[in-house]
């Protein structure tokens, strides 16, 4: 980044800070949301621009509909903001004092107050539709972009910006689907956005500080008394196969890892962790709401209990009910929330499970009255973030290719879904911006995607239960692991009896706890493909490198033997 763009970024970040603080003071200010959307766009965060524009659109609806919950507050704020004239953010670029996009209406700012307010609302909702169309297109969410663009065009059929946006969406859809005619239901609706510690995120701890290590080791003392967390160096993984298998030295990066602080015997339990940060996507199934283990059949001696206040929510026993009441259940008790993201269509199952984990973390934050990023289950976990500078989009004509963003994103699962959950929890999504802003949802998703484990349905192989076990997730992967894990109510990690090649198990004090993120019985290529998602790249463990080298040597030998045979045949002929 050159110094001009650095200055520009500093200026925009300050503008963003001021606008956000303004929203804390005037939470129903749709104009401030549109102003912040413009800043987010300029900073290169189209997802955050879409989030702000959607909130502004909701506030336009609040202003326009008398019966709506925040009608008075939203309207009063809008009148305040439009008191001195037409807010500049509603003007199209290049127009002097009114929104003339589409050339259809010159807005009078001197009419009676109601008339003027209606004009401002109409111009604001048009701005929201334009922003949503373009920002969602940039995030790869073509179907949602198309839908918002169509809604905008229904209200303003001649709007030039919307007509232009529709053309972009259709062209992009044709390119992505490789077709000449686009069918709306086929439009892709997920994409990738920046995965980073946002420059304004002051909730992230220094994961390598003594304070963090002491805190985590204090927690480990209870669930894994023979383990400690330490700072370590891990290979920096590439996205896919490369010739670095043969390299003696691979670049590394600093991360955390779990280490034995005393000898551990084969078969011995290494870690036994309970987590309430768990979720399942089966509607009306017999799973404990707290720990997600299968409930035993109901009988006379059953310990299974229900919440006295709400239907159908069951817990293994009084202990799980008590933990739920302390940690998250009051925020969702009797709130008709158990249908959200349940029984999704198979293609959406992973996204839906992450939304359910996010919902659980929001319920935990609301019940415990802490910021979601300050929850102990969340604060210290790995998020696979890239530096903001590596994600930034340069506007310079000599810039290198744009960065590849890595956080999966959709309008439904990142924007409207979490807001829907909060509304179900009776949380005012406007006055709670400091706790429930979109960048916070994105940060939570980054962390969950870097650490959650899922259980699949044995019948259809689809993921149906997911959980984050913050201490278990400190263990790194190796295709020759020294531990084995199983999750059913509690996450259990125990020392393997045997390592690969029938080598006897056992872990010596000081050695790293080596977990496995894939099925280690597979061949090297399949293992690497399986683990790629959770590792964030191509596995470079010793076993993978050795086996890949052996396979390569065999393939090369095979080819030269073949050549020889052919050669003899030719000579003989």
Ligand X SMILES: C[S@@+](CC[C@H](N)C(=O)[O-])C[C@H]1O[C@@H](n2cnc3c(N)ncnc32)[C@H](O)[C@@H]1O
Contact positions toward ligand X, by CB under 6 A?
A: 234-235, 237, 255-257, 382, 384, 450-451, 473-474, 476-478, 535-536, 541
CB of 290 to ligand X, least distance (A): 23
Nearer to ligand X, 58 or 444 (CB): 444
Instruction: State the virtual CA torsion across 362, 366, 370, 374 in degrees, nearest 10.
Output: -10
Nearer to ligand X, 255 or 431 (CB): 255
CB 394 within 8 A of CB 312: no
CB of 474 to ligand X, least distance (A): 5
Nearer to ligand X, 227 or 256 (CB): 256
CB of 478 to ligand X, least distance (A): 6
- Both tokens assigned to 7: 């200055």
Backbone angles phi, psi at 109, to 5 degrees: -100, 5
Handedness of CA 325, 328, 329, 334 (dihedral sign): positive
Nearer to ligand X, 363 or 535 (CB): 535
**Which residue reads 């963090």 in tokens?**
212
CB of 450 to ligand X, least distance (A): 5
CB of 351 to ligand X, least distance (A): 19
Backbone angles phi, psi at 490, to 5 degrees: -120, 150
Distance CA 124, CA 424 (A): 27
Say which DSSP state 477 is in: E
Handedness of CA 258, 259, 262, 265 (dihedral sign): positive
CB of 545 to ligand X, least distance (A): 11
Nearer to ligand X, 91 or 477 (CB): 477
CB of 255 to ligand X, least distance (A): 4
Nearer to ligand X, 82 or 277 (CB): 277
CB 31 within 8 A of CB 89: yes
Residue closest to 190 by CA, chosen among 407, 466, 513: 407
CB of 467 to ligand X, least distance (A): 13
Nearer to ligand X, 13 or 250 (CB): 250
Strand, coil or helix: 542: helix
CB of 205 to ligand X, least distance (A): 12
Distance CA 534, CA 540 (A): 14
Distance CA 476, CA 371 (A): 28
Distance CA 467, CA 490 (A): 10
Nearer to ligand X, 289 or 478 (CB): 478
Helical (H) or strand (E) element with 484: strand 483-488
b (16+ CB within 10 A) / e for 289-319: bbbbbebeeeeeeeebbebeebeebbbbbee
Nearer to ligand X, 78 or 474 (CB): 474
Distance CA 282, CA 46 (A): 33
Distance CA 293, CA 132 (A): 41
| H helices present in 301-387, as ranges | 318-327, 329-332, 349-368, 376-379
**Region of residue 506 (phi > 0: left; psi between -120 and 50: alpha; otherwise: beta):** left
Nearer to ligand X, 85 or 510 (CB): 510
Strand, coil or helix: 385: coil
CB of 300 to ligand X, least distance (A): 43
Nearer to ligand X, 416 or 480 (CB): 480
CB of 535 to ligand X, least distance (A): 5
């Amino acid at each position: 980044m050159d110094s001009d763009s650095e200055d520009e970024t500093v200026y925009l970040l300050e503008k963003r800070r001021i606008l956000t603080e303004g929203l804390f003071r005037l939470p129903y200010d749709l104009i401030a949301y549109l102003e912040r959307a413009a800043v987010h766009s300029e900073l290169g965060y189209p997802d955050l621009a879409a989030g702000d524009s959607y909130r502004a659109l909701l506030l336009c609806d609040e202003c326009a509909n008398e019966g709506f919950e925040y009608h008075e507050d939203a309207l009063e704020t809008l009148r305040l903001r439009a008191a001195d004239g037409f807010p500049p953010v509603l003007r199209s670029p290049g127009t002097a004092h009114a929104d003339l996009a589409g050339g259809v209406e010159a807005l009078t700012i001197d009419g009676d107050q109601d008339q003027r307010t209606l004009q401002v609302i109409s111009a604001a909702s048009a701005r929201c539709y334009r922003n949503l169309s373009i920002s969602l297109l940039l995030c790869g969410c073509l179907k949602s972009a198309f839908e918002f663009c169509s809604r905008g065009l229904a209200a303003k059929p001649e709007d030039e910006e919307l007509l232009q946006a529709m053309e972009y969406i259709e062209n992009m859809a044709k390119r992505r689907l490789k077709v000449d005619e686009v069918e709306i239901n086929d439009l892709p609706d997920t994409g990738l956005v920046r995965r980073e510690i946002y420059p304004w995120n002051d909730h992230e701890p220094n994961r390598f500080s003594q304070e963090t290590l002491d805190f985590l080791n204090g927690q480990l003392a209870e669930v894994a008394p023979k383990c400690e967390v330490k700072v370590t160096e891990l290979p920096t993984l590439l996205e896919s196969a490369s010739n670095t298998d043969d390299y003696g030295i691979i670049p590394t990066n600093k991360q955390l890892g779990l280490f034995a602080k005393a000898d551990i015997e084969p078969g011995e339990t290494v870690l036994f962790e309970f987590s309430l940060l768990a979720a399942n996507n089966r509607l009306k199934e017999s799973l404990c709401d707290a720990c997600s283990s299968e409930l035993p059949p109901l009988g006379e001696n059953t310990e299974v209990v229900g919440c006295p206040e709400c239907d159908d929510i069951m817990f293994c026993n009084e202990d799980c009910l008590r933990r739920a009441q302390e940690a998250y259940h009051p925020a969702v008790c009797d709130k008709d929330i158990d249908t959200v993201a349940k029984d999704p269509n198979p293609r959406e199952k992973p996204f839906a499970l992450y939304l359910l984990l996010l919902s659980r973390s929001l319920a935990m934050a609301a019940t415990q009255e802490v910021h979601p990023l300050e929850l102990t289950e969340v604060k210290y976990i790995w998020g696979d973030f890239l530096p903001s500078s590596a994600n930034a989009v340069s506007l310079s004509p000599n810039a290198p290719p744009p960065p590849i963003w890595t956080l999966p994103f959709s309008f439904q699962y990142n924007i409207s879904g979490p807001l829907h959950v909060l509304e179900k929890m009776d949380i005012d999504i406007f006055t709670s911006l400091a706790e429930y802003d979109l960048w916070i949802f994105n940060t939570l998703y980054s962390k969950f995607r870097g650490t959650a484990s899922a259980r699949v349905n044995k019948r259809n192989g689809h993921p149906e239960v997911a959980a984050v076990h913050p201490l278990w997730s400190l263990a790194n992967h190796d295709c020759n692991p020294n531990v084995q894990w199983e999750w059913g109510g509690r996450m259990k990690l125990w020392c393997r009896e045997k390592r690969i090649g029938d080598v006897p198990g056992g872990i010596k004090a000081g050695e790293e706890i080596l977990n496995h993120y894939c099925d280690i019985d597979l061949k090297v290529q399949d293992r690497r493909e399986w683990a790629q998602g959770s590792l964030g790249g191509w596995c470079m463990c010793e076993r993978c490198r050795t086996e890949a080298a052996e396979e390569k040597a065999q393939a090369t030998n095979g080819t030269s033997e073949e050549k020889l045979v052919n050669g003899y045949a030719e000579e003989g002929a």
